[in-house]
Structure 1
Amino acid sequence: MKYVKILFAVALVFTMCSAFSFKKGSHKPVYAFGVSASFTDTVVYYTDIQLLDSVHLDKNGFLPHRELYSYQLKNFLEYEMNRPNRTCMIYFSDTKKKIDKEAAKILGKYKKNKTVTLQKVDSEKFKFTKPEE
């Protein structure tokens, strides 16, 4: 009976350790899109929804270095498209369905405003990249 208890305890510890190790390895993909607006321009730029390579949300559900992704879009618009003084925002989610819904909501608000023109940023020219750590 003593050996059965020891064997059961070892099996329980092994099961608990394996369960936690599987949980760490299962990361969901992260999807993101960016929007850029300006107080001095009526054109609002937006990107396609993109899958961010090798990126995972932290334990609180936030995108690590999310401000750097916004700066990537801002720098692209300033230096490549000559559109200075823009405010860039990034929206992210770990599910495609949620980010599609968020994009429709955000872009829908801009479409309702007749003074604003929406312009898509070409996905071949701009793609979010993982910031260097």
Structure 2
Amino acid sequence: MKLIKQLTLAIILMAAGTTNVQAQNVKVPKAYMFGFVASFNDSTVYFTNIQQVDSVWVTKKKNMLAGRNHYSYQLREYFTQNRSLPNRTCVVIADVNRKNLEKKYAKMKNKYLVKSKKPYEVRSIAETDFKFKTVDMSYE
């Protein structure tokens, strides 16, 4: 039940990222991000490592990743094509400050490893297997 609530929240956050907000985007030299993948059908969740991505677009006021949906689609496509695991919920969490992102990463991973009442199988995705590619948001 708790997994369903968390995945529902993740879907809502993804949907919020796909709306066309008229925030001004700026290009930063680098940002850090990690991906989280889950499914309603099993108890296996996946985490990518924290990755540095160069030339990333963020919203001007809040430094939020612009085009989060494009990055989550990259992860979804990887799971569909390379792992034959379609229909996964993919979420990308990013920050321009690595220490802030490391805290978010540890907190999220801790939920599935330690604090969870239901046993989850937590798997890591190596950077050699999947790496986020820069998305050009200059046209939006």
TM-score between the two structures when normalised by the length of structure 2: 0.71
Equivalence for 1:81: 83
Matching of residue 130 in structure 1 with residue 130 in structure 2? no
Following TM superposition, where does structure 1 have runs of at least 4 consecutive aligned residues deviating by more than 6 angstroms? Answer: none
> Structure 1 vs Structure 2: percent identity of aligned residues?
35
The whole-number CA distance in structure 2 between the counterparts of 1:30 and 1:56 is: 9
Secondary structure, aligned partner of 1:54: strand
Question: How big is the alpha-carbon RMSD for the aligned residues of Structure 1 and Structure 2?
Answer: 1.9
Listed one character per residue, the Cα deviations across residues 53-101 of structure 1 (whole Å, up to 9, x for unaligned) are 1114220322111110001011101110111111010101111110000
Question: Which structure is larger by alpha-carbon Rg, 1 or 2?
Answer: 1
* Structure with higher helix content: 1
The whole-number CA distance in structure 2 between the counterparts of 1:116 and 1:35 is: 13
* Count of paired positions: 109
Secondary structure, aligned partner of 1:106: helix
TM-score between the two structures when normalised by the length of structure 1: 0.75
Structure 1: 5+ residue stretches without partners: 1-25
The whole-number CA distance in structure 2 between the counterparts of 1:96 and 1:121 is: 19
Equivalence for 1:110: 112
